[in-house]
Chain A
Amino acid sequence: AQSVTQLGSHVSVSEGALVLLRCNYSSSVPPYLFWYVQYPNQGLQLLLKYTSAATLVKGINGFEAEFKKSETSFHLTKPSAHMSDAAEYFCAVSGTGSARQLTFGSGTQLTVLP
C-alpha cells in the first residue's frame, strides 16, 4: 500500500522568496515519486519525477525535488517564486511493478504575494 502526505494545504510566499512544498510518502516497495501542478481550470501537468536515478531531480519552471529515503520525503523547492507559480501542487507516488496507478496527496495551494 502507498500513501502520500502533503504538509500544509495552503502556502503563501512573497515574490522572489524560496518556495518549499513538503511531501512525505509511505510505500512498501521502492517508489516512483512525482510532482504535478494544476493551474485553474486545467489538467495536471508533470513538474518532475523521481524514478530511482539521481536523488536530486530537476523539473520545469525552475523547480527541483530531492528524494530522501531516510526521511521518506520528496519536498519540492524553487529558489525564487514568481507570480506565475501560483497554482495547486500535488505530490504522487506509484509502484514500480505492473500496477502503476498514481496515489496522490491532498494538494498544496501556493499563493505568491507581490
Chain B
Amino acid sequence: EPEVTQTPSHQVTQMGQEVILRCVPISNHLYFYWYRQILGQKVEFLVSFYNNEISEKSEIFDDQFSVERPDGSNFTLKIRSTKLEDSAMYFCASNGQIQETQYFGPGTRLLVL
C-alpha cells in the first residue's frame, strides 16, 4: 500500500541553525501539507501546497519557514533559524484531490537545543 514517508525520523539541532525536513508524498498525489505537534499539544496546520505554490498557510508559518518541491517526488519544509519553540513533531500529509482523505507520514521529531 502506498504511504507517505519522512526523513529523518529524529533530528537534533542547535538554536539558530537551519533544518530541512523531507517528505515523499504518495506518488500520484497533488496536494501536500505540513502539520506540527508540540509535545502535549494539538496537531496544528502549517501550510498546504498545490501546483508548486502555497495555497494556504497558518499564522505559525512565518518568514522563518519555507516549503519546496524540488523534484517530482520530494516535498521539503525548511526552518531557516530554529528556535527552542520549534521543537515538535512535524507531519507531512498528501492527497490526490482536495476533497480526499489526507494521508499522513510517520513524522519527524525535531529537538532544538
Binding site for B on A (CB under 8 A): 32, 34, 36, 41-46, 49, 51, 90, 92, 96, 98-107
Contacts and interface: CB of A to CB of B under 8 A. Distances in A.
Contacts of B93: 44
A102 B45 CA distance: 7
User: Majority SS of interface residues in chain B?
Assistant: strand
Contacts of A90: 43
19 contacts: A32-B99, A34-B101, A36-B104, A42-B106, A43-B4, A43-B105, A43-B107, A44-B91, A44-B104, A46-B101, A90-B43, A99-B48, A100-B98, A101-B33, A101-B45, A102-B35, A102-B102, A105-B42, A106-B41
Contacts of B42: 104-107
Contacts of A106: 41-42
Nearest first, the 5 A-B pairs at minimum CB distance are: A44-B104, A104-B43, A101-B45, A43-B104, A43-B106
B106 A49 contact: no
Contacts of A45: 104
Interface in B14-39: 31, 33, 35
Contacts of B44: 104
Given A43-B105, A99-B48, A100-B98, 4 more contacts: A34-B101, A43-B91, A100-B48, A100-B99
A99 B107 contact: no
